[in-house]
Structure 1
């Protein structure tokens, strides 16, 4: 009898611990909540700030990293909430499901789970268009960044901010941790000469900021005039790395599978755009680097001898399944993290490049894209000249420190704060529009100032009360219209009450330098290479023609300045391209097959027209 009671008691205890269906799930849920020391922005929004979304149509920019600590996706949390009207989804590079490879063109489509439109921001356009935002009042951004200035998600945020400012939409950043910490800042401040999609704003390689802090800084420093809110995390500190947060790790992109690869990326990515491999195509991307011509044993010994803090090295051999050196045996090193808090990632990357180049200078080379990667146009030549890493790093130290103290540290939202820095307090913000202020000599550009006060309320600005100032520019501003003078660059400043905004401006004649054609799967691409980025071109449809017209322009470069014709033989929808000038316009005439549909993806310094087959 006693034995039977004991067996029953054991069964009850086991059932209470491991059975009980939903009760067990509740207990597990409560346990996981206790373990999570950091509450991400999406949870803060859902618990404290749903009033921000009340009565508004919501668009969400996200990917698989947009989850709460129980792995519920932000898409589901918003879509299933009775008080949230989610109307559109937006995908960055790799798409909202994370199933697209790096650099792969991402199409727009309808999401099977929700029936909502999914608009690609890494395809035909990088910036949400007016059509995409037609059913959106407020844009949310919820994507995990990894702390490097060449990781594209933060620039998707920047483009979304531009669209929000231009179209009077609200933007809310659901903040997430910087997984490599928020204390260290490393690398050169990006030069204006090295601006591209992967580096649209002037940041150092390792910026030590969160997406919410970056957005706040850009809104003020670039006078973007966005109605911006940040759902700040709770519990995050600047000295935390991702494994300190208690949050689940979701790979942010296909080639960042682990926390280690995310941590090392800001350093070992500097091996890219050379004849060296970053380990792409293996299970350890950005953790192992090398080349077919490297002596792995010697490299490991050399890297150990450099006594870099926080890391150790071992010889490594791998065969990439795709990408650079696909199918070839690559020798190099695997980087092992011993103390993440003490690693200088930029120094690590440059030392790896230096050591591997020294092994075989004849095999080492770098592409022109390395300038965009490192952000400083002088560094590639320093590397090729075998300048010591310490001297290379010293070359940017003063400018970096000035940016940190004068700019970055003014917008930090989380402690512990650097010496002399204070928590960011909400401030009024002004924006000058258009955001891309370029003009040809004699061209008029209408300027507008928008702003929000420190409480986030839109300011009613009488445009005639705005005072304007030109610095370094030839021209004048009359009644809010800028009349461009001679070629040059400078600053346009606006003053309203006690607030100031400024916008870089360039005056130059648009020049058509080349016309290129490419046949793609599903479309024929026509590319007009220009000397600068322009947005004020027009496309007019005629009978079996598309006319691309660029005002105030001329023709030079590889093209005949008097005009010419390019025959196209392999396109099903395009037979010929004519180019010429007419009055003050560059005209490119596409001979097309009837009423062909077309798209115009956005790229810097070019006009792209994709003719659909």
Structure 2
């Protein structure tokens, strides 16, 4: 019996090791905000610090970078800067956020989603170094990295160094897909020539942005991180990054379900469902499932008068959000012939999200998803080569 129990315990332990690779990989993982004080403290020691952050700016133990820097004796934390959704991440998408003061530290929290989206000279007057620590979701149109870009521009203009505390791209560093943004379509939901799913960390994006900005930039890298790691491999708990990003399923679903601005094709249940009026959910699911998109299956589901599908992500490593989103839009149009928004003197949000007017043109022409992929592939392949210069992790 003792031998049997010993053998059983061995199998249980072995099984648990096989089912928890993320924890094994995460044992030597450190965020940039943890590496900062261990190896890069010289970047901030003796300085007045301005911190760009929100509720996602926490270390592996869940302690906020605000608290860590406020308690660090060698610096003076003099200002905070908050992005869209505010310092606590609770404001709705697009909602105006007022500047305010921190309730216990008594220092200003300057809103970068209110009167301005770029720190002004006045906002930067009382700091020596600008530090950035926020968790992105890996999608071009999510505005936290737009805030990073604008902060880098402001740092350059005001002769302030900027330090980016690196964090993982939740989608990993291997999936790179979608149309590449063209200069004409730059906006706050697309600040640079990136594809929808870029596969870069905040620090890598900062290096990419800096090819045009030329700021005094220092990236504090993570330790124990590789390109093949998705968020689940880090061992970190997900901190809700905005009202509609409660969990990783929403993070992965964002580019797959949130591309239909102005078409009548919409997302629901925090980016876990996509559909619209005039769509037969069973036909829609059949089209998408027959396409054999990697890492996902589609379950027909009606929501009121709209027909659509619920995404069931079966493999988070192979799931391709941008590709899935293009297929979902193209098949939706084949079923209900929605009117494609078109830019004129003003650029419509649909084209801003796409980063080009070409996807709308291809949808209007009735091109298949594969044909659309082939159209944007040359620019995407060019980007993949260009981004190699700015990558940090193997």
Q: Does 1:339 align with 2:330?
A: no
Match of 2:178 in 1: 187
Match of 1:268 in 2: 257
Q: Does 1:293 align with 2:278?
A: yes
Distance 2:302 2:76 in 1: 52
Deviations 1:388-445 (A, max 9, x none): 111111112122212221x200111001xxxxxxxxxxxxxxxxxxxxxxxxxxxxxx
Q: Does 1:96 align with 2:87?
A: yes
Match of 2:73 in 1: 82
Distance 2:328 2:46 in 1: 54
Contact 1:109–1:119, Cα closer than 8 Å, also in 2: yes
Contact 2:296–2:312, Cα closer than 8 Å, also in 1: yes
Q: How does 1:223-372 map to 2 (within 5 A)?
A: 224-279=213-268, 284-318=269-303, 328-361=304-337, 363-366=338-341, 368-372=348-352
Name which of 194, 203, 207 aligns with 2:194: 203
- The runs of at least 4 consecutive aligned structure 1 residues that moved more than 3 Å come to 32-37, 363-367
Q: Secondary structure at the match of 1:168?
A: coil
Question: Following TM superposition, by how much is the alpha carbon of 1:184 offset from its aligned partner in structure 2, in angstroms?
Answer: 2.0
Match of 1:377 in 2: 357
Distance 2:307 2:69 in 1: 47
Question: Following TM superposition, by how much is the alpha carbon of 1:37 offset from its aligned partner in structure 2, in angstroms?
Answer: 4.4
Q: How does 1:555-566 map to 2 (within 5 A)?
A: none
Question: Following TM superposition, by how much is the alpha carbon of 1:148 offset from its aligned partner in structure 2, in angstroms?
Answer: 0.9
Question: Following TM superposition, by how much is the alpha carbon of 1:331 offset from its aligned partner in structure 2, in angstroms?
Answer: 2.8
Match of 2:150 in 1: 159
Match of 2:18 in 1: none
Name which of 126, 150, 158 aligns with 1:135: 126
Contact 1:151–1:198, Cα closer than 8 Å, also in 2: yes
Q: How does 1:105-116 map to 2 (within 5 A)?
A: 105-116=96-107
Distance 2:165 2:325 in 1: 31
Q: Give the alignment's TM-score, normalised by structure 2.
A: 0.89
Distance 1:123 1:289 in 2: 30
Q: Secondary structure at the match of 1:139?
A: strand
Give the structure with the larger strand fraction. Answer: 1
Deviations 1:143-190 (A, max 9, x none): 011111111011101110011111110100000000001112111221
Give the structure with the larger helix fraction. Answer: 2
Distance 1:36 1:376 in 2: 42
Question: Following TM superposition, by how much is the alpha carbon of 1:344 offset from its aligned partner in structure 2, in angstroms?
Answer: 2.8
Distance 2:128 2:162 in 1: 9
Name which of 41, 66, 85 aligns with 2:57: 66
Question: Following TM superposition, by how much is the alpha carbon of 1:364 offset from its aligned partner in structure 2, in angstroms?
Answer: 4.6
Contact 1:36–1:69, Cα closer than 8 Å, also in 2: no
Distance 2:275 2:382 in 1: 35
Distance 2:87 2:109 in 1: 8
User: How has the CA–CA distance of structure 1 residues 124 and 33 changed in structure 2, closer, same or farther, with 3 Å as cutoff?
Assistant: farther
Distance 2:159 2:330 in 1: 48
Contact 1:137–1:169, Cα closer than 8 Å, also in 2: yes
Q: Secondary structure at the match of 2:123?
A: coil
Which is greater in Rg? 1
Distance 2:144 2:92 in 1: 14
Distance 1:303 1:251 in 2: 29
Q: Secondary structure at the match of 2:90?
A: coil
Match of 2:166 in 1: 175
Distance 1:79 1:89 in 2: 11
Report 1 or 2 for greater relative contact order, CA contacts < 8 Å, sequence distance ≥ 6.
Answer: 2
Match of 2:393 in 1: 414
Match of 2:10 in 1: none
Question: Following TM superposition, by how much is the alpha carbon of 1:86 offset from its aligned partner in structure 2, in angstroms?
Answer: 0.3
User: How has the CA–CA distance of structure 1 residues 35 and 157 changed in structure 2, closer, same or farther, with 3 Å as cutoff?
Assistant: closer
Distance 2:25 2:214 in 1: 39
Question: Following TM superposition, by how much is the alpha carbon of 1:233 offset from its aligned partner in structure 2, in angstroms?
Answer: 0.2
Please list every run of 5 or more consecutive structure 2 residues that lacks an aligned counterpart in the other structure: 1-22, 343-347
Question: Following TM superposition, by how much is the alpha carbon of 1:365 offset from its aligned partner in structure 2, in angstroms?
Answer: 4.1
Q: How does 1:414-493 map to 2 (within 5 A)?
A: 414-415=393-394
Q: Secondary structure at the match of 1:119?
A: strand
Distance 1:60 1:239 in 2: 29
Question: Following TM superposition, by how much is the alpha carbon of 1:42 offset from its aligned partner in structure 2, in angstroms?
Answer: 0.5
Please list every run of 5 or more consecutive structure 1 residues that lacks an aligned counterpart in the other structure: 1-31, 319-327, 416-613
Match of 2:48 in 1: 57
Contact 2:80–2:110, Cα closer than 8 Å, also in 1: yes
Distance 1:34 1:298 in 2: 41
Distance 1:379 1:293 in 2: 21
Contact 1:164–1:226, Cα closer than 8 Å, also in 2: yes
Question: Following TM superposition, by how much is the alpha carbon of 1:34 offset from its aligned partner in structure 2, in angstroms?
Answer: 9.7
Deviations 1:516-571 (A, max 9, x none): xxxxxxxxxxxxxxxxxxxxxxxxxxxxxxxxxxxxxxxxxxxxxxxxxxxxxxxx
User: How has the CA–CA distance of structure 1 residues 122 and 33 changed in structure 2, closer, same or farther, with 3 Å as cutoff?
Assistant: farther
Q: How many residue pairs were aligned?
A: 367
Match of 2:110 in 1: 119
Deviations 1:103-138 (A, max 9, x none): 111110111132110001111111100110111110
